[in-house]
Structure 1
């Protein structure tokens, strides 16, 4: 499957400058932590957040480049996962930084004395399930995005982070998202970095949480895509994260980083409120989201902000009713097996229906019943002629249908299409709506 790395291009363009931090003396390692402005922002206030939840017990699948599980800021928090590049593990070293960077924003724990150096993720006790994906035209898996999502779900991830923009989204991919939603897995997707008034195809799929990027002031990043299905925004400008090379760090802009922060916030909530469904987790994020002062009168959801930028501390501490299971999520169609079965049943019924609305089987049954009745009448008439005027026909008084004579013509009508209980109703194509 052909993929474009739109959500990765911006980060890649600025990595060279960010590598200066990686080669700096140890004393400057604290600078990397200081550069993580979202952790100190009033909307996050990470030190207070971690008193409420650290994401413990939650697994976040990062469908991306391989994640370097030996990076000192991630060591111990990365599961083996799987590589759909070579069939091996997903926690391997790579020349590509993006997967490790996203994992560090979600579940980095820093390193050194008191873990004071390096990158800290918003959910530092969460586990990362790395699902390593190929670049364009490379890899061993023909299933593409759909099979990667299904793998993550089947490995018991409760959140899937998709900081990528596929060149095309297939029906199989959409069915995989529906599968994730059915299994109560939250799918978080970047809006895209094209500065367009249109979300990426993947971010437009029903069932996902589409995320845009904002800067330190809470203003939408100029290249963050917008659209009516945008759900939330999060920090995505001048974001420091871990490089795939241990000891090195990167600085990037993009909805990729914003997506990772929303996935991390969801991990915090799923850890503290394990009884909440995925849609109810999103509901808490939406109900506690914020806007900059100059946007306080904007009508929500806004195509640029969604419901606003995430405020994890409020989401963890506010008194918010759980609400409906699906929350603000737009539900996808049923999985392929249900939709295919429904379509096949519909086609069969249509092909076997005449202008009068009776199925072919019913017509054959009616004809057989009529033939039986005609034959009985003929036999009775013949016997009457033979016996002369010797009384009523056999079967007792009352003639046809009387006692002792079953109404033969009734049988064929009992299985007519449309009769109560004759056929199951068509499958529900929009579960949860």
Structure 2
């Protein structure tokens, strides 16, 4: 790819950490070096990937700072969207970089002659629906909006993938219900695990039904600031990632935000090629083709740092993988579980008095029948005893033989201790078939 990675990185300026986003600003460089510095495209062998799918026909909602839809690498791929925090157009954001950066990693199409310059996203023919939930890059809390309305809006506008490259505290009940709504409508939800290097995955990534994404570098090693925990499902490139900017032409950054954007791009590729698969079955293809470091081979998955492994889009697009269950490796959103329980409880409460009355009536009838039967049985036993006693008196003694004891198996068998438990199933990727390569974990 022209200039090597080492030369490109030497041209990069200093770093600035803002909130949970690690941003590195670069001086003006040539367009060719911008494309050359996208090491993830080379690692994924993007040219081969695009022979299989480019994400055409898929809409990815990007809940973020808004997107600069007039950026030359994005123009035409950004829908109007909506801002939930101010009156500005969500597709004309020029005061912050983050949302534009995520959009470019997902659906950037490059620029220049033959689109061989600038940023290429993993799904260059997908459309981005920008939904603005915060006013700037500095902090996640500044002017931020609840995700509930944005998620529902994205679903209702036809997005089949929602990228959430942000991290916050525990979700509200409205946000949990919105995630359940998206799952019900078969929309894939992808979110970043967080950038504190802690053993706690942030929300919404930690929520059931959401694909939590960690960040790895070019060698496949976990980024030292990538949050980890049992909720992590997949990892993707997130270290020194070149992308487009809203306030600046281009930026370079490290973070789980960028990793989540690449996973959203991969989901878009798969949704375009396999339109009949559910969101869970799409994620299943990524899980089953993910790469793991050698020291994790054969271990129970998901691993708290790598999840099921590093995404390999080409394999996910080309391998023969059974569709599997509708939900795949995704967990049922907590609000959906609560709603089902509440519905069951409400249904039972509405019929409680009627059920009790019917049960009491049945009980009284049964007691009457049983009582009458017992009286008849007692009378019959008395008659039999009297008849036999009279017969014994006439015959002079008891019949030969002892009391009846029954033959083998005649008595009651051991009690049923309960249904046997099904063997536990660990959702595994096909690591034995596709061993991890220490030279390039992304290779196909």
Give TM-score, length-normalised by structure 2: 0.72
Q: In structure 2, what is the Cα distance between the partners aligned to 1:35 and 1:297?
A: 34
Could you say what secondary structure the match of 1:89 adopts?
A: coil
Q: In structure 1, what is the Cα distance between the partners aligned to 2:72 and 2:97?
A: 15
Could you say which residue in structure 2 is the equivalent of 1:191? Answer: 193
CA contact (8 A) 2:105 2:122 kept: yes
Give TM-score, length-normalised by structure 1: 0.73
Deviations 1:306-356 (A, max 9, x none): 110000000000011111111111112428766654454566678x69xxx
CA contact (8 A) 2:65 2:93 kept: no
Could you say which residue in structure 1 is the equivalent of 2:82? Answer: 82
Give 1:286-365 correspondences, 5 Å limit: 286-333=287-334, 334=336, 340-345=342-347, 358=356
Give 1:194-209 correspondences, 5 Å limit: 194-209=196-211
Cα deviation, residue 297, structure 1: 4.3
Could you say what secondary structure the match of 1:93 adopts?
A: coil
Deviations 1:174-230 (A, max 9, x none): 111110000000000111111111211322211111111111110111111111121
- The reply to whether residue 14 of structure 1 matches residue 12 of structure 2 is no
Equivalent position to 1:172, from 153, 171, 174: 174
The count of corresponding residues between Structure 1 and Structure 2 is: 340
Q: In structure 2, what is the Cα distance between the partners aligned to 1:196 and 1:347?
A: 45
Q: In structure 1, what is the Cα distance between the partners aligned to 2:296 and 2:359?
A: 65
Q: In structure 1, what is the Cα distance between the partners aligned to 2:61 and 2:219?
A: 30
Could you say which residue in structure 1 is the equivalent of 2:143? Answer: 138
- The reply to whether residue 129 of structure 1 matches residue 134 of structure 2 is no
Could you say which residue in structure 2 is the equivalent of 1:108? Answer: 108
Cα deviation, residue 138, structure 1: 2.7
Cα deviation, residue 54, structure 1: 0.3
Q: In structure 1, what is the Cα distance between the partners aligned to 2:297 and 2:332?
A: 29
CA contact (8 A) 2:169 2:202 kept: no
Could you say which residue in structure 2 is the equivalent of 1:266? Answer: 267
Cα deviation, residue 88, structure 1: 4.8
Cα deviation, residue 137, structure 1: 5.5
Unmatched 5+ stretches in structure 1: 1-6, 367-433
C-alpha root-mean-square deviation of aligned residues, in Å?
Answer: 2.4
Q: In structure 1, what is the Cα distance between the partners aligned to 2:348 and 2:204?
A: 30
Cα 1:349–1:62 change in 2 (3 A) is same
Cα 1:316–1:8 change in 2 (3 A) is farther
Cα deviation, residue 299, structure 1: 3.1
CA contact (8 A) 1:191 1:203 kept: yes
Cα deviation, residue 86, structure 1: 1.9
CA contact (8 A) 1:231 1:307 kept: yes
CA contact (8 A) 1:191 1:230 kept: yes
Could you say what secondary structure the match of 1:285 adopts?
A: helix
Deviations 1:225-274 (A, max 9, x none): 1111211000000100111036x211111100000000000000000111
Q: In structure 2, what is the Cα distance between the partners aligned to 1:317 and 1:29?
A: 32
Q: In structure 2, what is the Cα distance between the partners aligned to 1:202 and 1:347?
A: 34
Q: In structure 2, what is the Cα distance between the partners aligned to 1:341 and 1:313?
A: 43
Equivalent position to 2:164, from 158, 162, 165: 162
Q: In structure 1, what is the Cα distance between the partners aligned to 2:338 and 2:132?
A: 25
Q: In structure 1, what is the Cα distance between the partners aligned to 2:134 and 2:282?
A: 31
Could you say what secondary structure the match of 2:205 adopts?
A: helix
